[in-house]
Amino acid sequence: MTGPQPQSEAIDVLARTLYGEARGEPAEGREAIACLVMNRVRKARGRKGGYWWGNTVAEVCRKPWQFSCWNADDPNREALLKATARNKVFAVCLRIARDAIEGRLSDPTGGATHYHARGITPPWARRRSPKIVIGDHLFYVDVE
């Protein structure tokens, strides 16, 4: 189990994840992904020994093959690493990340721990129905 994570690191990593995964989405779409990350962190903390995604915001966001923007070969990776608060969209991602980590966001996903973009169907999503669709993303609550 990992120790506590500095809040500034958690905010930065979550904001970069939101920027990499959903910078083209409206704020509601980015908030939904922030809540999904927090749902994964809560699920891990509620389980003895944690959960395979990781136990902190940074671990959950950077877990290989979970948020494609962090994959070494993803074209979004360079953009998310270079983003600064001078970028208006990234500034919104920072605000959303701070609100999520401080518990100030209502979860529009209903507890979702999985999502994917419209137009792709990962193997885990087959024969499942999304709980909600927000923007171009489908969110699921029934995936283990």
* Residues whose CB is less than 8 angstroms from the CB of residue 71 and which lie 6 or more positions away in sequence, other chains included: 64, 65, 77
Q: Rounded mean pLDDT of 10-32?
A: 95
Beta pairing partners, 140: 114
How many residues are recorded in the chain? Answer: 144
What is the pLDDT confidence band of residue 47, given thresholds at 50, 70 and 90?
Answer: low
Residue type, 69: C
- The 10s digit of each residue's pLDDT in 119-129 is 999 999 999 99
Please report how many Cα atoms fall inside a 13 Å half-sphere around the Cα of residue 90, on the Cβ side: 14
What is the pLDDT confidence band of residue 46, given thresholds at 50, 70 and 90?
Answer: low
Task: Say whether pTM exceeds 0.75.
Answer: yes
Judge whether residue 54 has pLDDT over 50.
Answer: yes
Which pLDDT belongs to residue 2? 47
Torsion angle of C-alpha atoms 65, 75, 22, 43, degrees rounded to 10: 20
Residue type, 78: E
Tokens at 107, concatenated: 């979860």
Q: Rounded mean pLDDT of 8-17?
A: 95
